[in-house]
Amino acid sequence: MKHSIKYYFFLIVCAVALTAGFASCNKYLDVVPDDGIATEDMVFDMRASAIKWLYSCYSYMTQEGNYDGDPALLGGDELWTNEWIQPYDWTPYLFYIALGRQSASNPINYDWASFYQGIRYCNTLIKRAPEVPDLKRQELEQWIAEAKVLKAYYHFCLIRKWGPIPIIRESLPISAGVDEVKVWREPIDDCFDYVFELLDEAIPYLPERNRTRDEWGRINRPIAAALKAKVAVTAASPLFNGNKDQQTLVDSRGVRLFPDKTDEQIKARWEYAVKACEEAITICHDASHTLYYYQGNLRVDDVIMKELDIRDAICDDWNDEQIWVNTKTYGSCGHNQFITTPNLDPVNYPDLYIRGDYVNVPLKIADQFYTKHGIPVANDKERADINPLDLREVTSEYKWNMKEGATTVEFNFDREPRFYADLGFKYGLWFGPTQNNVTPSQIYAPNCGGSTGFHVKKIIPHEFRVTSRNGYSTKSYEWCMFRLADLYLLYAEAINEAEGPDGEHSGDLYRYLDAVRERAGIPDVKTAWDTYSNAPGYYKTQIGMRDIIHRERLIELAFEGHRFWDLRRWKTAPAEYAKGIYGWAQKSGGLQNYYRMVEVYKQPTFTQKDYFWPIATSDIDQNMHLVQNLGW
């Protein structure tokens, strides 16, 4: 498998080297430069060189799962770090977004031009691939379909960050006049509709599954269908669908980029999303995609087995739940694991103790996980008289989740399996780092510290091992951009928004929502709320079900880069950011002092302008037709 990934990137590197001369000196979005024309003719003379151009289209993929390239990891409120990390000397640049330092003069994570360059490469392949003489028809159609999906994805990435954007249907020739290349941003629905158009054109010509290992990572039908579902739900969400807060965003022609909508028009977007999700699930099921359950050879307690179901859905790469895996982030996962691992025993592992303590989880994120009954702590009847800060000794009943005989707070008791699978905390058992033993007393229980007292366990494979006083070994894996659980929850969300929890598709709503919960080891929605909660029947209203689905996404997809975008599209970011960044005080003088809640950082207020990236001032200066996003 690893050879196929390296081979894949070798082709991309070759493609980038081959096409280095194609990069335009100006910053216009869609001009094919003079020095590229002759080289293009040579590239499309034969299949062997043309396929390198196809791989160059992939080289503009985003960097999900990379702390240095994915703003959704450190740019929000789900993970917290420090501005400057020593002695490792790692500067978490994207963390500056969370600190409120975004600017129009020098935007952070500004890949506006990069996406448009990727679109231009896709346009060139779509246009020139039919000229390749030794390319069979079926392969030609697949290449063009792949390029169309990538083109759709790059447009979607632009829309998600900047809202209404210029749409590049075809690249302009170098002879285009000055006025032709100065493009306008187009109304938000036109932007989304163009993405749907590209995906609909591509899906019939894509394979159901990649046929060989050398094709892993290339776009197939489930990827394209799942992308369409995600785009459809995004387009239907409040940030983009009838957003009155953006009504003053008007271009120089007087065109409103977020036009008014009727309730029927808003609902129509959700109905389209229901259909897109339903079709994507069918395509994914036909291609044998299923929810992951651990299939390895380890013989462990059922509690640890459930933890492996949850953790390995991410860390066991290329499993059947994973729909779209980003091979571009393969090399970054080891780096992520290194800076996410909790501090180890300072006596036996002095260097790792100092260095392995960079990325922490705010208390509010730990608190969002359910109780063992599958409902929020505040709604669990059994927790009504329990103070989460009271101290309690860990008995043998909990020995597979926490260190037996240790004393910790009620906050950590009787939580759902994802709480223990996703989080590392003081005296919480962590299957993995120092040994292979599978008895509770031998499983590593980290003395977690950091700025909050919580670490991310979920994205670190159980194969991670400390090998010496200052060394470790781990399994690198490709980052999963889209998995089946995400698609199931998008479908449930779309159904609820389109018709409520008791409409035509209510059977599917509960079926897929409960499938995710079953794998997580918690009761189905109706049983959980009717049996254990102080609000039975909460799921029966659209508002109640919306709250349930939103929280299920925040828990199930935690630390995978979804919260950052979900809070924005739901328009709930201001309320969530206002909760602040808190953690345990971790002070000496007894456990009561350790478990005192303190504010780690007063995160800047999330305002309306923060929903979208600014367009760089320099780009606006070069193109008078581009209008800046509101507030920048």
Look at residues 564, 588, 586 and name the one whose alpha carbon lies nearest to residue 577.
564
User: How deeply is 143 buried, as exposed, middle or buried, from its count of CB atoms within 10 A (0-12, 13-18, 19+)?
Assistant: buried
More confident residue, 471 or 219: 219
The per-residue pLDDT for range 287-304, each reduced to its tens digit, is: 999 999 998 888 889 999
> Domain locations in the chain?
2-59+111-288, 306-606
Q: What's the pLDDT score for residue 468?
A: 65
Per-residue confidence (pLDDT) for residue 602, from 0 to 100: 86
The pLDDT score that the predictor gives to residue 12 is: 41
Tell me what the pLDDT averaged over the chain comes to.
Answer: 87
**Bigger pLDDT: 89 vs 73:** 73
**Residue 371 in contact with residue 383, Cβ under 8 Å?**
yes
549-599: pLDDT as tens digits: 999 999 999 999 999 999 999 999 999 999 999 999 988 788 889 999 999
Q: According to the model, what pLDDT value does residue 436 have? A: 53
pLDDT at 5: 36
- Mean pLDDT is lowest, of 433-437, 487-491, 507-511, for 433-437
pLDDT > 90 fraction of the chain, expressed in percent and rounded: 69
Place 1 in a pLDDT band, splitting at 50, 70 and 90.
Answer: very low
- CATH class of domain segment(s) 2-59+111-288: mainly alpha
Question: Is pLDDT larger for residue 602 or for residue 509?
Answer: 509
Predicted local confidence at residue 14, as pLDDT: 39
Q: Is the pTM of this model over 0.95?
A: no
Give the model confidence (pLDDT) of 194-248 as tens digits: 999 999 999 999 999 988 877 888 999 999 999 999 999 999 999 999 999 999 9
Nearest to 342, CA basis, from 454, 421, 427 = 454
Per-residue pLDDT at 3 exceeds 50: no
* Whether pLDDT at 34 is above 60: no
- The answer to whether residue 72 scores a pLDDT higher than 80 is yes
The Cβ of residue 154 has, within 10 Å, a number of other Cβ atoms equal to 26
- Cα three-residue angle 581-427-563, rounded to 5 degrees: 35
Higher-pLDDT residue of 625, 84: 625
Find the helix or strand (DSSP H, E) in which 604 lies: none
Number of helical H runs and strand E runs in the chain: 24, 10
Mean pLDDT lowest for which of 100-114, 325-339, 433-447, 477-491? Answer: 433-447
Q: How confident is the model at residue 444 (pLDDT cuts 50, 70, 90)?
A: low
Residue 331 predicted with pLDDT over 70: no
Q: pLDDT value at position 333?
A: 57
Residue 326 has pLDDT above 70, yes or no: yes
Banded model confidence at residue 329, pLDDT cuts 50, 70, 90: confident
Tell me phi and psi for residue 409, to 5 degrees.
Answer: -95, 155
Cα dihedral 451, 453, 459, 465, rounded to 10, equals 100
User: Structure tokens of 115?
Assistant: 């996406």
pLDDT band at 416 (very low <50, low <70, confident <90, very high): very high
Bigger pLDDT: 356 or 566? Answer: 566
Between 4 and 288, the more confident residue is 288
276 vs 258: CA distance, rounded Å: 23
Q: Note the pLDDT of residue 328.
A: 80
Q: Are 512 and 525 in contact (CB under 8 A)?
A: no
Q: Is pLDDT larger for residue 14 or for residue 57? A: 57
Residues 379-401 pLDDT 10s:
999 999 999 999 999 999 999 99
Question: Which of 1-10, 25-34, 423-432: highest mean pLDDT?
Answer: 423-432
pLDDT tens track for 140-194:
999 999 999 999 999 999 999 999 999 999 877 655 555 656 789 999 999 999 9
Residue 494 confidence (pLDDT):
98
What would the DSSP string read from start to end of 247-279? TT-B-TTS-BSS----HHHHHHHHHHHHHHHHH
Chain Cα centroid distance, residue 151 = 19
Q: Does 15 have pLDDT greater than 50?
A: no
Comparing 582 with 13, which gets the higher pLDDT?
Answer: 582
Of residues 128 and 465, the one with the higher pLDDT is 128
